[in-house]
Amino acid sequence: MVVEREKVRIHILLVDDDARLQTNVRDFLEPYGCRITSMRSGRGVEAAVREQQPDIVLLDVMLPDDDGFVVLRRLRGVSALPVIMLTARGNDADRIVGLEMGADDYLPKPFNPRELLARIKAVLRRSSTPPDAAPREQSRDTLTVGSIRLDLKRQRLERGERSVQLTTTEFRIIRAFMGRPDEVLSRDQIQTLAFGENYYCNDRNIDVYVSRARTILRKLCEESPIHTVWGAGYRWISDEGDGLPPA
């Protein structure tokens, strides 16, 4: 079968100690315009990201030295680069831990390489395409609700002198809420606002993303402005008069 090659190449850093998987992934993805840089160890991933400047990282959970969660934690300390976790264990606990730590997606082994390619493209679309326009956006560069400010260009969340660098997924989730403060948003609405109408993830993923956003907000606010509305979804409560400590 002749495969039509894509003009735009995607540079992928693949971190997995399975030589056969590396070969299979490379053989399938390269005709679709992907360039693969491979590593078999989690050590040195941060340096590889700085030197190789990949577009996305495929990171195995079970590595021979530091496991993928340790590597992800270190990577998130220096980069918001999109990361898809790969695992042979495939249980919900691993998936939830990975998403809570800042992974953008999670794919259990064995996987269909076509699904891997679809996941890669979906994650990259999310990281490069702005979410739906938000009615409370005051300028091209910032979005402010009460004392919390979202820098739209640098993907940084700020309050007073404090600031937190966000991953693309964290940025999109928080931006969805800040664009519609005081509105009750269902999980479907959050998904559409954050990722677009053509993206699908299950309700549990949305709950994990929201949990991650709350954890980040507590670093700035002590109490997260995102509240659960039982049976309906979630709501961002503006901090004017809600008892949040001053910035």
Domain spans in the chain, listed from the N-terminal domain onward:
10-128, 142-236
pLDDT given for residue 231 in this prediction: 86
CATH topology agreement for domains 10-128 and 142-236: no
The CA distance from 243 to 146, in Å, is: 12
The CA distance from 194 to 226, in Å, is: 15
β-strand partners of 228: 234
CATH architecture of 142-236: Orthogonal Bundle (1.10)
Nearest alpha-carbon partner for 212 in 195, 224, 229, 197: 224
pLDDT at 73 over 90: no
Nearest alpha-carbon partner for 191 in 180, 212, 178, 207: 207
Task: Name the band, by pLDDT with cuts 50, 70 and 90, for residue 136.
Answer: very low
pLDDT at 174 over 70: yes
Average pLDDT (170-182) is: 90
% of the chain residues with pLDDT over 70:
83
CA atoms within 13 A on the CB side of 231: 0
Helix (H) or strand (E) holding 159: strand 156-159
Average pLDDT, rounded, for the chain: 82
pLDDT given for residue 157 in this prediction: 93
pLDDT at 131 over 60: no
Task: Name the band, by pLDDT with cuts 50, 70 and 90, for residue 129.
Answer: low
Looking at beta carbons, which pairs linking 110-119 to residues 24 or more positions away fall under 8 Å? 111/86, 113/24, 113/25, 113/28, 113/29, 116/25, 116/28, 116/29, 116/58, 116/84, 117/28, 117/29, 117/32, 117/34, 119/84
Does domain 10-128 fall under CATH 3.90.1300.10? My reply is no
% of the chain residues with pLDDT over 90:
31
105-108 and 226-229 strand pairing: unpaired
Average pLDDT (27-37) is: 92
Which residue, chain included where needed, has tokens 């971190």? 15
pLDDT at 111 over 50: yes
Phi and psi, residue 169, nearest 5°: -65, -45
The identity of residue 180, as a single letter, is: R
